[in-house]
Amino acid sequence: MAGELVLVTGGTGFIGAHCIVQLLQKGYTVRTTVRALSRADDVRKMVRQGGVEPGERLTFAQADLTSDAGWAEAVQGCAYVLHVASPFPPAIPKHEDELIVPARDGALRVLKAARDAGVKRVVLTSSFAAIGYGQKPQKTPYNETNWTDPNGDDVRAYVKSKTIAERAAWDFIAREGGALELSVVNPVGVLGPVLAPDFSTSILLVQRLMDGAMPGAPRLYFGIVDVRDVAGLHIECMTNPAAKGERFLALSGDFMSIQQIAKVLKARMGAAAAKAPTAEFPDWLVRIAAMRDEAVKQILPELGKRKNGTNEKARRLLGWNFISPEDATVATAESLLKLGLLKDGKKAA
């Protein structure tokens, strides 16, 4: 119901900021958590970049996933919580617990505080990482019944952290959630309009393609979803009775290769995408590059693996129509150009 107070954790993040924009557009009052209140102006700038004047309907609470402090105050008076905050570093952490512990314990902190405050429903941002890894290859598309095996050979720290955190959330609701309801959104790679220079790791791919930082396209295949759909799904899951106790794979369409993404950029962005590589990069060269680049090292287990997923459940239960992966890719590039975040790109007037 418009006017109700919604807590968004991680308002400085890519998805979190878009959630705030859409909630304000729909008439909700929003409180968002930041690790330091000095980041409040950064969030306001992102919301304005999204086309909304935040005004007095956006307030801030200081809270960190690694500490109990501040969470009771953050959820007080909230009808709903969108728990979006989660660590996603560009480099592999020295120890996997640097990701797993804050992801799992942070989710449990938020859920406990929400239950104790009488919140109606929490919508948790999980990931395809909790669905499509650590298993034998399958020809059928992955769906919400699939779960990543955290002990699988190809499971890195981030994937494990998302899987363990989501499992812990469902277990909490089953055992001690009381009247609190839970819904989960599992996005694939999130693209779409960037609102600030401090953007998510998934946007780096489009930036690197546009900048010509990749001499070739590695043999990688992954799903794309527009951040506007991800934010919209969170809000739909917040109030739709059909979303109670369900997880939803957020996916625009069939998985794409990096080569296909580069070709979309070249076809739709013209001269701005002149440096985007359309030649495929041999696997052995990618492995050499990984010796010098931590971000490249993270993708090595996925080289050459063809996966796919389906958004049938979100379309059927929620009636959701997704922005195409091509349009999401172009929206990313256009926003990077507009904000002057490409090497040779001039900021648009």
| Letter string b/e over residues 129-145, b meaning 16 or more CB atoms within 10 A of that residue's CB | bbbbbbeeeeeebbbbe
Q: Which residues contact 178 (CB under 8 A, 6 or more apart)?
A: 115
| 182 within a domain of the structure (yes/no) | yes
Element (H, E) at 40: helix 40-49
pLDDT average, residue stretch 95-107: 92
Q: Output the CA–CA distances (angstroms, integers) from residue 51 to 17, 18, 47, 93, 209, in the order listed.
A: 12, 10, 7, 35, 27
Is residue 180 included in any domain, yes or no? yes
Residue-level pLDDT at 275: 94
| pLDDT > 90? residue 153 | no
Quick one: average pLDDT of 234-259?
Answer: 97
The verdict on residue 167 lying in a domain is yes
| pLDDT over 90, % of the chain | 81
Count CB neighbours of 53 within 10 A. Answer: 10
Residue 211 domain-assigned? Answer: no
- The pLDDT value recorded for residue 302 is 87
> 193: closest CA among 2, 74, 347, 15?
15
CA distances from 215 to 52, 193, 211, 277 (A): 39, 25, 10, 6
Are the C-beta atoms of 252 and 325 separated by less than 8 Å? yes
Query: Could you tell me what percent of the chain has a pLDDT over 70?
Result: 97
**Structural domain includes residue 39:** yes
State the average pLDDT over residues 85-95.
73
Q: Round to whole Å and give the CA distance between 321 and 229.
A: 9
- Write out the two tokens for 333: 């590039």
Three-class SS of 132-181: CCCCCCCCCCECCCCCCCCCCCCCCHHHHHHHHHHHHHHHHHHHHCCCCE
> Domain for residue 271, yes or no?
no
Q: How far is CA 212 from CA 31, 149, 215, 240, 276, in A?
A: 39, 36, 7, 43, 6
Q: Of 97-101, 108-112, 255-259, 310-314, give the lowest mean pLDDT range.
A: 97-101
Tell me the sheet residues that pair with 309: 142
The pTM (predicted TM-score) of the whole model is 0.95
Per the annotation, the verdict on 343 as an active-site residue is: no
Question: pLDDT by residue (tens digit) across 285-315?
Answer: 889 988 988 777 878 888 988 999 999 999 9
- Angle, CA 321 vertex, CA 272 and CA 81 arms, to 5°: 95
What residue numbers bound the domain in which 75 lies?
Answer: 5-193+224-254+308-325
Catalytic annotation, pick one of 112, 160, 162, 275: 162
**Which amino acid, residue 264?**
V
Q: Facing residues of 250 across strands?
A: 187
What's the structural domain count of the chain?
A: 1
In a domain, 35, yes or no: yes
Backbone angles phi, psi at 122, to 5 degrees: -110, 135
- The CATH number of residue 56's host domain is 3.40.50.720
Q: Measured between alpha carbons, how far is residue 140 from residues 16, 150, 249, 307 in Å? A: 32, 21, 15, 9
**Average pLDDT across the chain, whole number:** 93
Q: Is 9 helix (H, G, I), strand (E, B) or coil?
A: strand
Give 28-72 pLDDT, tens digit per residue: 999 999 999 999 999 999 999 999 999 999 999 999 999 999 999
> Residue 263: inside a domain, yes or no?
no
The helix, strand and coil proportions of the chain, stated in percent and rounded to the nearest 5, come to: 45, 15, 40
List pLDDT tens digits, range 158-201: 899 999 999 999 999 999 999 999 999 999 999 999 999 877 77
Residue 239: both structure tokens together: 């109030």
pLDDT at 137: 87
What confidence score (pLDDT) does residue 300 get? 85
C-alpha to C-alpha distance for 333 and 7, rounded to whole angstroms: 30
